Chains A and B, each alone.
Chain A
Amino acid sequence: MSELHYKTLSETAAMLQAGEITAEQAVQACLDRIEATEPSVKALISVQGEQALAKARELDGQGPDPAKPLWGVPMVLKDLLTTKGVTTTCASKFLENFVPFYDATVVEKLDAAGAICIAKANMDEFAMGSSTENSAYFKTANPWDLERVPGGSSGGSGATVAAGQCAAALGTDTGGSIRLPASFCGVTGLKPTYGRVSRYGMVAFGSSLDQIGPMARSVEDCARVLQVIAGHDPKDSTSVDCEVPDYLAGLDRKDLSGLTIGLPEQYWPDPDKEGGLSPEVEQACRNAVAKMEELGAKTVPVQLGLTDYAIATYYIIAMAEASSNLSRFDGIRYGKRAENAEELIDLYTKSRTQGFGDEVQRRIIIGSYVLSAGYYDAYYGKAAKVRRLIRRNFDKAFESCDLIAGPVCPTTAFKSGEKADPLQMYLIDIFTISCNLAGLPGMSMPVGLGADTNMPIGLQLLGPSFSEDLMLSAANTLEKNLPPMPIPGL
Chain B
Amino acid sequence: MKISPEEVAKVASLARLELGPEKIEEFTSQLGDILEHMDKLGELDTEGVEPMFSPVEQVSVTREDKVRKEHTREEVLSNAPETDGKFFIVPRIV
**Which of A333, A342, A362 contacts B79, CB < 8 Å?**
A333
Q: Which residues of B contact A421 (CB under 8 A)?
A: 30, 33
> Residue of A at shortest CB range from B55?
A439
Q: Is the CB of A334 within 8 A of B40?
A: no
**Which of B13, B37, B61 contacts A311, CB < 8 Å?**
B37
Residue among B34, B79, B88 with max Cβ neighbours from chain A (10 Å)? B34
Total A residues in contact with B, Cβ cutoff 8 Å: 76
- 1/0 contact string of B10-26 vs chain A (CB within 8 Å): 01111111110001000
Q: Is the interface of B mostly helix, strand, loop or mixed?
A: loop
Selected interface stretch from A68-76, A98-106, A131-139, A272-280: A98-106
With contact pairs A208-B55, A333-B88 given, residues A372 and B14 touching in the complex (Cβ less than 8 Å): yes
A344 and B94 CA atoms in complex are apart in Å by: 10
Q: Is the CB of B56 within 8 A of A194?
A: yes
> Residue of B at shortest CB range from A356?
B17
Residue among A195, A309, A368 with max Cβ neighbours from chain B (10 Å)? A368
Residues facing B in A370-420 (CB within 8 A) are 370, 372, 378-379, 381-389, 391
Interface: A46 (CB within 8 A)? no
A336 and B82 CA atoms in complex are apart in Å by: 11
Q: Is the CB of A387 within 8 A of B51?
A: yes
Nearest CB of A to B90, in Å: 6
With contact pairs A341-B91, A343-B91, A343-B93 given, residues A349 and B16 touching in the complex (Cβ less than 8 Å): yes
A239 and B71 CA atoms in complex are apart in Å by: 23
With contact pairs A101-B71, A368-B11 given, residues A385 and B93 touching in the complex (Cβ less than 8 Å): no
**Which of B8, B11, B12, B91 contacts A342, CB < 8 Å?**
B91
Q: What is the total of A-B residue contacts with beta carbons within 8 Å?
A: 173
**Which of A238, A240, A353, A379 contacts B17, CB < 8 Å?**
A353
With contact pairs A337-B81, A369-B3 given, residues A315 and B15 touching in the complex (Cβ less than 8 Å): no
With contact pairs A101-B78, A334-B79 given, residues A312 and B54 touching in the complex (Cβ less than 8 Å): no
Nearest CB of B to A445, in Å: 23
Q: Is the CB of B30 within 8 A of A362?
A: yes
Nearest CB of B to A234, in Å: 6
Residues facing A in B14-50 (CB within 8 A) are 14-19, 23, 27, 30-31, 33-35, 37-44, 46, 49-50
Nearest CB of B to A26, in Å: 32
Q: Which residues of B contact A438 (CB under 8 A)?
A: 55
Q: Is the CB of B91 within 8 A of A344?
A: yes
Q: Is the CB of A368 within 8 A of B40?
A: no
Interface: A128 (CB within 8 A)? no
With contact pairs A208-B53, A334-B80 given, residues A366 and B91 touching in the complex (Cβ less than 8 Å): no
With contact pairs A369-B11, A438-B55 given, residues A352 and B34 touching in the complex (Cβ less than 8 Å): no
Q: Which residues of B contact A343 (CB under 8 A)?
A: 91-93
**Which of B3, B14, B17, B81 contacts A361, CB < 8 Å?**
B17
Interface: A316 (CB within 8 A)? yes
On chain B, which size bracket covers the interface? Answer: 35 or more
Q: Is the CB of A309 within 8 A of B31?
A: no
- 1/0 contact string of A331-364 vs chain B (CB within 8 Å): 1111111000111111111101100101001101
Q: Is the CB of B44 within 8 A of A309?
A: yes
> Residue of B at shortest CB range from A317?
B53
A381 and B12 CA atoms in complex are apart in Å by: 21
Nearest CB of A to B47, in Å: 9
Q: Which residues of B contact A440 (CB under 8 A)?
A: 55
Interface: A237 (CB within 8 A)? yes
A353 and B27 CA atoms in complex are apart in Å by: 14
Interface: A365 (CB within 8 A)? yes
Q: Which residues of A contact B44 (CB under 8 A)?
A: 306, 309, 382, 386, 389
Q: Which residues of A contact B43 (CB under 8 A)?
A: 309
A342 and B27 CA atoms in complex are apart in Å by: 27
Nearest CB of B to A248, in Å: 26
Q: Is the CB of A365 within 8 A of B15?
A: yes
**Which of B16, B50, B79 contacts A98, CB < 8 Å?**
B79
**Which of B31, B40, B90, B91 contacts A362, CB < 8 Å?**
B31
Q: Is the CB of A384 within 8 A of B88?
A: no
Q: Which residues of B contact A240 (CB under 8 A)?
A: 56, 58
Nearest CB of A to B55, in Å: 2
Q: Top 6 nearest A-B pairs by Cβ distance?
A: A439-B55, A384-B51, A337-B81, A334-B79, A385-B46, A388-B52
Please list 11 pairs of residues, one from A and one from B, whose beta carbons are closer than 8 Å in the complex, sorted by A's number: A237-B61, A309-B41, A312-B40, A316-B41, A333-B80, A333-B88, A334-B81, A346-B91, A383-B38, A385-B51, A388-B50
* Seed contacts A364-B17, A370-B38, A379-B38; 13 additional CB < 8 Å A-B pairs: A312-B38, A316-B38, A327-B15, A332-B80, A337-B81, A347-B91, A367-B15, A369-B35, A382-B44, A384-B51, A388-B49, A389-B44, A423-B30
